[in-house]
């Protein structure tokens, strides 16, 4: 199974992750269809992708010609039946039921040669792939935020994933100038399982009023971490981070070390989702 057969890539979900994934695929020369049910998200995604490319030009990493070429490879649409591609990457909400329904519908409109991949950060690939008639072509391809900058990609094989499919997705990540790591299927895979305690313990310290969130961040950053847990949650999305923690808490049968935080729950309920909403643990004025 050769990477040469991948010409057209679909990305489902025009949120923060979908935007970045679509951008890097287009920059690598693939024809990309970025799909979302919300037209306003597509409009916002296009503006952000152009802004990212312009920033690359300002830094001398891109030329105007390479920007124009990347944009020529990108199509934004809310037409679901048009999602007929060689490979489709899902980047939607962390909800097992919604993901299973999406992939079942994608399978119906594509032939057996189409590879289906999920950018899920915590839900087991085997569990999502159970909705498919042909789970051998289903694989995890987990990017990290911001996807157009972060190098790491986890390639996760479910119980039924074909080794050839996993290898092809690994090679695709290399073509996208990423550093792929092969992982077996488990809640949180590698990075989120290791990193979960970074967030959860920070939130516990905050709940116990040992220190405020700014103090905790300063301590971790002075210890060598590039970003403290609260700045990082704001960057990732407080809502996204909470969703992943909740998913892992359930997947590990309510293991206390993964218990979601009441403080984080309150932030989500209030719409304080971090940088993308203008306010999280910190405020981000326009």
Residues belonging to the active site = 121, 142, 154, 192
Distance of CA 270 to the CA centre of its chain: 23
**With contact defined as beta carbons under 8 Å apart, do 32 and 9 qualify?**
yes
**Quick check: bond before 146 cis, omega within 30?**
yes
Q: What secondary structure does DSSP assign to 150-167, as a single string?
A: --EEEEEE-TT--HHHHH
Q: What secondary structure does DSSP assign to 232-273, as a single string?
A: HHHHH-HHHHHHHHHHHHHHTTS-GGGPPPHHHHHHHHHT--
Give the span between the Cα atoms of 185 and 131, in whole angstroms. 16
**CA within 13 Å, CB half, 250:** 11
């Amino acid at each position: 199974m050769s990477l040469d057969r991948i010409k057209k890539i679909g990305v489902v979900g025009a949120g923060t992750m979908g935007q970045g994934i679509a951008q890097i695929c287009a920059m690598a020369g693939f024809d990309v269809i970025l799909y979302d049910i919300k037209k306003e998200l597509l409009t916002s995604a296009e503006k952000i992708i152009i802004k990212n490319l312009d920033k690359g030009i300002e830094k001398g990493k891109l030329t105007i010609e390479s920007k124009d070429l990347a944009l020529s490879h990108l199509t934004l649409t809310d037409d679901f039946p048009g999602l007929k591609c060689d490979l489709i990457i899902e980047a939607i909400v962390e909800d097992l039921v919604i993901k299973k329904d999406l992939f079942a519908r994608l399978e119906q409109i594509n032939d057996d040669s189409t590879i289906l991949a999920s950018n899920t950060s915590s839900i087991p690939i085997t569990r999502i792939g159970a909705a498919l008639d042909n789970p051998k072509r289903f694989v995890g391809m987990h990017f990290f935020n911001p996807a157009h900058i972060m190098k790491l990609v986890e390639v996760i094989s479910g119980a039924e994933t074909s080794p050839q499919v996993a290898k092809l997705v690994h090679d695709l990540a290399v073509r996208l100038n990423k550093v792929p790591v092969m992982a077996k299927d488990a809640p949180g895979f590698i990075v989120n399982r290791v990193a979960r305690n970074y967030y959860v313990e920070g939130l516990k310290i905050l709940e116990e009023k040992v220190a405020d969130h700014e103090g905790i961040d300063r301590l971790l950053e002075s210890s060598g971490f590039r970003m403290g847990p609260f700045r990082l949650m704001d960057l990732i999305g407080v809502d996204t981070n909470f969703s992943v923690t909740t998913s892992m808490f359930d997947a590990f049968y309510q293991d206390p070390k993964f218990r979601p935080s009441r403080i984080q729950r309150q932030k989500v309920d209030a719409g304080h989702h971090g940088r993308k909403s203008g306010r999280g643990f910190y405020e981000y004025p326009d």
